[in-house]
């Protein structure tokens, strides 16, 4: 059995019919987009608790509902990493309350909160990382929205 050496919690985060993402701009690299989330820490009570913490750190936000919808396995040197992907609805956001280390270390680049229409066409146009997640979201917008009972724009 392969050891799980890293876990992360990420959110396909919806606010109405928009997807909330982080646009990452790093020196010497083309901009790319990521879902809100990050690593599960030892003091997190659960993977879902890690998701709630990450949403607060990165957005000053809260979610009122989160459902696990997808897992991504990453092959790492010492074992495997598992990304737990949740569908979640944004309940509140206060960017002035963000607390993550990414905001205190300027050398890590920019973290811009962006909203895009939640449709296969719009998601497919982005350089959303990781590619497996981008493909999953684009192929499953209706299913993801139905989990959260959220309307979806037609592409």
107 inside domain: yes
- Full domain range(s) for residue 52: 4-148
Q: CA 144, 2, 87: angle at the middle one, nearest 5? A: 10
| Domain annotation covers residue 155 | no
CB atoms within 10 A of CB 95: 11
pLDDT given at position 87: 97
Model pTM? 0.91
Q: DSSP string spanning 103-144?
A: GT-GGG-EEEEEEEE-SHHHHHHS-EESHHHHHHHHHTHHHH
Q: Provide the domain count of the chain.
A: 1
Low pLDDT (below 50) residues in the chain:
none
CATH code of the domain in which 99 resides: 3.90.79.10
- pLDDT computed for residue 95 by the predictor: 93
Residue 153 lies in a domain: no
Q: Is residue 139 part of a domain?
A: yes
Q: What local confidence, expressed as pLDDT, does residue 58 receive?
A: 94
Q: What is the pLDDT of residues 109-138, one digit of tens each?
A: 889 999 999 999 999 999 999 999 999 999
Task: Report yes or no on 10 lying in a domain.
Answer: yes
- Do the domain assignments include residue 50? yes
pLDDT at 28: 87
């Amino acid at each position: 059995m392969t050891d799980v050496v890293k876990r992360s919690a990420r959110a396909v985060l919806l606010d109405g019919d928009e997807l909330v993402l982080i646009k990452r701009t790093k020196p010497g690299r083309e901009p790319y987009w990521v879902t809100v989330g990050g690593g599960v820490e030892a003091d997190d009570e659960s993977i879902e608790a890690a998701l709630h913490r990450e949403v607060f750190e990165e957005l000053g936000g809260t979610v009122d509902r989160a459902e696990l919808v997808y897992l991504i396995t990453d092959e790492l040197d010492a074992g495997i990493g598992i990304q737990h992907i949740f569908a979640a609805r944004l309940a509140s956001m206060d960017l002035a309350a963000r607390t993550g280390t990414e905001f205190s270390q300027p050398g890590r680049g920019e973290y811009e909160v962006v909203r895009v229409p939640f449709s296969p066409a719009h998601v497919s146009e982005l350089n959303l990382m990781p590619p497996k997640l981008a493909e999953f979201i684009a192929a499953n917008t209706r299913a993801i929205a139905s989990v959260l009972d959220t309307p979806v724009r037609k592409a």
